[in-house]
Amino acid sequence: MPFSLRRLLRLLRDIMTLPAADDAAVSEGERRQWEPPFDASRPAPPISYPITDLAALASRSYLSEDSNFHLPFNRASMPLPSPGAPLPPRRRLLVCHDFQGGYREDAAPQGGANPDAYALWHWHLVDVFVYFSHYLVTLPPPCWTNAAHLHGVKVLGTFITEWDKGAEICREMFATQDSAQMYAERLAELAAALGFDGWLINIEVKLDIQFIDNLKEFVNHLTKRMHAAVPGSLVIWYDAITVGGDLDWQDKLNEHNKPFFDLCDGLFVNYTWKEKYPRDSAATAGDRKYDVYMGIDVFGRNTFGGGQWKTNVALDLLKKDDVSTAIFAPGWIYETKQQPDFQSAQNRWWALVEKSWDVLRGYPKRLPFYSDFDQGHGYQVSSEGLQVSGDPWNNISCQSFQPMLKYTGDEVQPPVRTSINFKDEPYSGGNCVTVQGSLRQNAIFSEQLFNGGLSMEDGYVHLFYSVNAEANSDLGLSLDFLSRNKENTSILIAEDIAIFSRKKQHHLYSSYVQSDKVEPHAPDNQNWVIYRATVQSSASYTLIGINIVCTLKTSGKINSEADEDESSEEDANRLWPYHASLGHISIRNMDENTQFPSAESWVTEGKYISWSNNSNTSKLLSLKISWKLNTSHQASFMKYNIYVEKLIGDSNAKVSRSFLGVATVEAFYMSDLQVPDEVTSLKFIIQACGRDGSRQGLEECPKLFLVPVE
């Protein structure tokens, strides 16, 4: 495709997919908060934003808390499970998000109020995630890094130059070797400080040949600095400018772009390649063929196979040729409002990817392992079985390990369906996993939740899980193990194992472990029943699967094994309604919860305190709350739940406690909290949440007290 037409189509597509100016979800002001007269040093609700010019990049102002109030909130808190580990030596899947120009609802590190905001949750299919926009330096919002890292996915930012302004920037950057190295060092410093894993470099301009050597030095120096600062990091080159300085997309790895490929960790091949190009690229790459990521544009702009609902056509070819892929703009599903709704359409589209590409990754890989299946958005928030907020919300940082549910939407009314449930009150976070439909009395329904690779140790593992089931529905778990001799075994865990062992499919399980009810931490929890089980483990086995297992309790005339034998064929084939939900799973080496530091072990501080009049009966409060341990030990918690209690002079009055949000760093900014005039004191509560899912008791949490101004 000629240069001008290609660029014009890209620009038009970006323009057409931007929300209208009156879009209720994202206003114009919210889209461009960082543009002048934005002052990053002033306290304000935290935002993520790009660096838009060379002067700001060179000055390092983004990394100074004096000039950037938002810096602490933009540091990712979740490390990769195996820091420093290289990508596996196999074909890989890279996702380049390219969603509506970038920095939408995800630009709020503390989350937002749109329960239908864009997100990804099929992380088990992804190896590398690139956060992309058309700004000079695209810094990934920490929510993406936190969610991706949890699932073992590396995250890259984007450095891009394009159009006439981009050419001018390149001439300044690459005027000398020293300047090329300096800007490379600035980018490496940003990635290390903010906790992400490297860069996609996209030079989409024509340059005089005199600048090419310094451009190559920029790529070389950035790659070396990234590897030194963040072991296991990546620098990937985009197929645009050639080594001769021409802006000429090659659509393959060849002599015109290989000099850049040789200096970094991979090539993102432009998405207009032809059928034989992957094979040609693999031959050119030699033993680095997996570092070649053949682009696929999901919008389908002159991409092989057509993208969209035919993205699998390109994936099938790349799988056959055994090279990697870079999927560009999967947000097409959201932006084009694919039917019937985003949740269903996204699951259907990624099911095509999975069917074509296979599942090449899994979790859990280590203990403790915890999931409440939270997708990072919803219409309510629960904690340990109690609703703490009825407000809609979104925060990708709150994603828990995502279950690997199979898409069944194309089936004609499957008898039983497992789904993510946002409607019913969850055990924790914003959703639960629900199985509903119809079962026969002798049937056992099972579906895999997680496909792991956890090497066991001699001893015991302890499982905790929560269930909310209708009277005639029973729910348990099963664990799949693989021995060193490649023999499979499966253990079923349930409260009443006799109900499962009587069923015709009970032979699927090698052994049974009974689970016991646990007294809930929240005594007001009426819906969720918490279970605990202990399973003996052996170092000769690997945990390869965690499954949800469902059956009907015996009822009516079928109430014993004898009755079951005497039941008529008609009764045996009759379908009965089934409905049960799983709220969370926690697998640990220890039977006890995380031991949290006492409240006295923390130092809490309120800064940037600002009061303003709201009405004759209330005021508005804004402040930054921060906390840290008063010892040399670093806190390592999954997140912090933030609450406030508004105390009044009447000691007999019921205390009003409100959930304010979630912090993933040791700071939280509260904006415009309404404080009625009768309130005499505010008590902010910072509740630490352990990586095993346990939460510190609210009475033992660190607190910050504040007295309203007169």
Q: Report how far residue 292's alpha carbon sits from residue 288's, in angstroms, rounded to the nearest whole number.
A: 7
Q: Of 38, 49, 104, 102, which is closest to residue 73 (Cα–Cα)?
A: 49
Strands (E), 441-574: 444-450, 454-455, 459-469, 473-483, 488-494, 511-514, 516-518, 529-537, 541-552
pTM of the model: 0.94
Which residues have a Cβ under 8 Å from the Cβ of 459 and sit 6 or more positions away?
536, 537, 589
Q: Report how far residue 365's alpha carbon sits from residue 632's, in angstroms, rounded to the nearest whole number.
A: 29
Which residues have a Cβ under 8 Å from the Cβ of 352 and sit 6 or more positions away?
309, 311, 312
What CATH number corresponds to the domain at position 377?
2.60.120.260
Is residue 418 located within the same domain as residue 516?
yes
What CATH number corresponds to the domain at position 700?
2.60.40.10
> Under a CB-based contact definition with an 8 Å cutoff, are residues 76 and 194 in contact?
yes
The answer as to whether 207 is a domain residue is: yes
Domain end, chosen from 357, 379, 409, is at 357
Is residue 650 located within the same domain as residue 700?
yes
> How many other CB atoms are there within 10 angstroms of residue 555's CB atom?
11
What CATH number corresponds to the domain at position 80?
3.20.20.80
What local confidence, expressed as pLDDT, does residue 410 receive? 76
Q: Report how far residue 417's alpha carbon sits from residue 578's, in angstroms, rounded to the nearest whole number.
A: 10
The answer as to whether 1 is a domain residue is: no
What local confidence, expressed as pLDDT, does residue 592 receive? 77
Domain end, chosen from 294, 323, 357, is at 357
The answer as to whether 212 is a domain residue is: yes
Q: Can you tell me which residue has the tokens 């890259």?
A: 156
Which residue range is the domain that position 623 belongs to?
599-706
Is residue 222 located within the same domain as residue 294?
yes
Is residue 308 located within the same domain as residue 396?
no
Instruction: Give the pLDDT band of residue 521 (cuts 50, 70, 90).
Output: low
The answer as to whether 20 is a domain residue is: no
Is residue 384 located within the same domain as residue 304?
no
Q: Which of 210-224, 266-280, 373-387, 497-511 shows the lowest per-residue confidence on average (mean pLDDT)? A: 497-511
Per-residue pLDDT of 528-569, as tens digits, reads 999 999 999 999 999 999 999 999 997 544 344 444 454 556
Is residue 583 located within the same domain as residue 691?
no
Domain end, chosen from 357, 378, 407, is at 357
Is residue 345 located within the same domain as residue 409?
no
What local confidence, expressed as pLDDT, does residue 644 receive? 98
Q: Report how far residue 51's alpha carbon sits from residue 57's, in angstroms, rounded to the nearest whole number.
A: 7
Q: Report how far residue 549's alpha carbon sits from residue 439's, in angstroms, rounded to the nearest whole number.
A: 12
What local confidence, expressed as pLDDT, does residue 634 receive? 74
The answer as to whether 55 is a domain residue is: no
Instruction: Give the pLDDT band of residue 522 (cuts 50, 70, 90).
Output: low
Q: Which long-range contacts (CB under 8 A, 24 or more apart) does 172-180 make?
A: 172/54, 173/54, 173/214, 173/218, 174/207, 174/211, 174/214, 174/215, 174/218, 175/211, 175/214, 176/214, 177/213, 177/214, 177/217, 179/214, 180/214, 180/215, 180/217, 180/218, 180/221
Is residue 207 located within the same domain as residue 188?
yes
The answer as to whether 430 is a domain residue is: yes
Q: Report how far residue 667's alpha carbon sits from residue 392's, in angstroms, rounded to the nearest whole number.
A: 22
Q: Which residues pair with 541 in a beta bridge?
A: 483
Mean pLDDT score, 684-690: 97
What local confidence, expressed as pLDDT, does residue 568 receive? 59
- H-assigned helices in 491-534: 497-501
Q: Which of 55-59, 231-235, 575-579, 652-656 shows the lowest per-residue confidence on average (mean pLDDT)? A: 652-656
Is residue 399 located within the same domain as residue 300?
no
Is residue 146 located within the same domain as residue 294?
yes
The answer as to whether 23 is a domain residue is: no
The answer as to whether 8 is a domain residue is: no
pLDDT for residue 2 is more than 50: no
Is residue 440 located within the same domain as residue 544?
yes
Token pair of 514, please?
């009974």
State the total domains in the chain: 3
Is residue 227 located within the same domain as residue 246?
yes
Q: Which of 43-52, 215-224, 410-419 shows the lowest per-residue confidence on average (mean pLDDT)? A: 410-419
